[in-house]
Amino acid sequence: VSGKQTEIWKNGEKDSLTTIGFSQVGAESDWRSANSISMKRTFTPERGYDLIFEDAKQKQSDQIKAIRKFIQQEVDYIVFSPVVESGWDTVLEEAKRAEIPVIIIDRKVAVKDSSLYAAWIGSNFYLEGQKACKVMKAYVDEQQIPEVNIVNIQGTLGATSQIGRTNALEDAAQKYGWNLLEQESGEYTEAKAYEVMSKMLLEHDDINFVYCENDNEAFGAIDAIRDAGKTVGPGGDIQIISFDATREGLRRTLHREILINGECNPWHGEYVEKVIHMLETNELWQKEMYVPEETFYSMPEDMQIMLGGKEYTVQTVTESIVQ
Ligand code: AHR
């Protein structure tokens, strides 16, 4: 990689930085901002890196353009979080021909040849959804709710996080006999979720659960529910399921506006750095890496949920977690 490294002068001596071209999906959510911060804090000149950060504004065409630019710039590594799973074969073949290792974070790519990328780091989105649904089932049983009428505000359609969380809900609805009234994308944004939720409330007067696929969608949905004269939280009209567990999401879970919040860990920077280190020392033994995550809920006591023979702790949100 030495030929491509950026030369700088440190204390009068020539030094070189490892150049990382990073194409971020956009700035659609608080989670995304945390993910960008994680990358920017990890890949600093002080730590030996030159980070070229490109924001794709949720457009795949912008991500493809950014990757092509990184190839021309002869960066040492390309890192990107793909907006959707499909449509990456051609540009990743170009990166492979240029011998630039590609590390994918967060969402996945569906490519014919897995050698087109070196590693993937992210969340098990189906598991996040499955755990949230298990907690929801426990809540429904405990509260003896006779009928579950749930609507689903989905994430960006075609993104791995949307596919995993939606599939988990669909499987749970089928298994537990919940009525899945409607599904529509809120594009992971507060504004779109407000619009979608307002429309769903006009179409269905019996909604008692909303499964939002991230915290910003949950914030938009809560506003829409309140503006329609309904209440959220245990004892209220509608219960909210959410994902991400951002600071604001956890605060609202603590205050019982959100019933269940599945953590999505955005702190990928340090894992990407480890992968780079392993690639440079030929020690990469695992192509796909899941980051650790919890599920939070706003019920008073901790519960143990059995999942596929493994035990997962579902945490009650406390003040100290939110701070
Ligand atoms: O792909 C991860 C999802 O993307 C996060 O849940 C969401 O907040 C973000 O926009």
Antiparallel, parallel or unpaired: β 303-307 and 310-316 = antiparallel
Beta carbon of 18 within 6 Å of any ligand 1 atom = no
Beta carbon of 108 within 6 Å of any ligand 1 atom = no
Nearest CA, atom 2, ligand 1: 161
* Total structural domains within the chain: 2
Sequence-distant (≥ 6) Cβ neighbours of residue 137 within 8 angstroms: 172, 176
The predicted-structure confidence for 194-225, as pLDDT tens digits, reads as follows: 999 999 999 999 999 999 999 999 999 999 99
Helix H segments across 44-155?
60-72, 89-97, 125-142
Beta carbon of 159 within 6 Å of any ligand 1 atom = yes
Average pLDDT over all residues of the chain = 90
Angle made by CA atoms 234, 142, 147, in degrees to the nearest 5: 75
The structure tokens listed for 286 are 């695992």
pLDDT at 303: 46
Residues 229 and 315 in one domain: yes
Cα–ligand 1 centroid distance for 189 (angstroms) = 10
The predicted-structure confidence for 92-113, as pLDDT tens digits, reads as follows: 999 999 999 999 999 999 999 9
Residues 228 and 274 in one domain: no
Residues 132 and 233 in one domain: yes
Ligand 1 atom nearest 81 alpha carbon:
1
Beta carbon of 123 within 6 Å of any ligand 1 atom = no
The sign one gets for the Cα dihedral 66, 72, 75, 77 is positive
Beta carbon of 125 within 6 Å of any ligand 1 atom = no
Beta carbon of 219 within 6 Å of any ligand 1 atom = no
* CATH code for the domain of 110: 3.40.50.2300
Residues 115 and 174 in one domain: no
The structure tokens listed for 108 are 């996945």
- Residue 171 contacts residue 230 (beta carbons within 8 Å): no
Cα–ligand 1 centroid distance for 132 (angstroms) = 16
Residues 155 and 180 in one domain: yes
How far apart CA 253 and CA 240 sit, in angstroms, is 9
Residues 254 and 149 in one domain: yes
In this predicted structure, the answer to whether residue 184 has a pLDDT above a threshold of 90 is yes
Sequence-distant (≥ 6) Cβ neighbours of residue 202 within 8 angstroms: none
Residues 196 and 99 in one domain: no
How far apart CA 183 and CA 304 sit, in angstroms, is 30
Residues 212 and 226 in one domain: yes
Position 96, amino acid: K
pLDDT at 299: 56
pTM: 0.90
Residues 139 and 240 in one domain: yes
Domain holding 17, by residue range, is 2-122+266-290
Cα–ligand 1 centroid distance for 27 (angstroms) = 10
The predicted-structure confidence for 121-139, as pLDDT tens digits, reads as follows: 999 999 999 999 998 998 8
The structure tokens listed for 196 are 């979608």
Q: Determine the residue of 161, 166, 263, 291 to mutate for testing ligand 1's pocket, defined as the one with the most ligand atoms within 8 A of the Cβ atom.
A: 161
pLDDT at 304: 47
The structure tokens listed for 3 are 């030929």
Cα–ligand 1 centroid distance for 285 (angstroms) = 27
Residue that is written with structure tokens 């700035």 in the block: 27
The structure tokens listed for 85 are 């799973």
Q: Determine the residue of 38, 106, 154, 214 to mutate for testing ligand 1's pocket, defined as the one with the most ligand atoms within 8 A of the Cβ atom.
A: 214
Residues 270 and 260 in one domain: no
**Which 8-state DSSP code applies to residue 87?**
S
Residues 149 and 271 in one domain: no
Rg (alpha carbons) of the chain, rounded to whole number: 21
In this predicted structure, the answer to whether residue 89 has a pLDDT above a threshold of 90 is yes
Beta carbon of 243 within 6 Å of any ligand 1 atom = yes
In this predicted structure, the answer to whether residue 15 has a pLDDT above a threshold of 80 is no
Residues 222 and 313 in one domain: yes
- Residue 221 contacts residue 190 (beta carbons within 8 Å): no
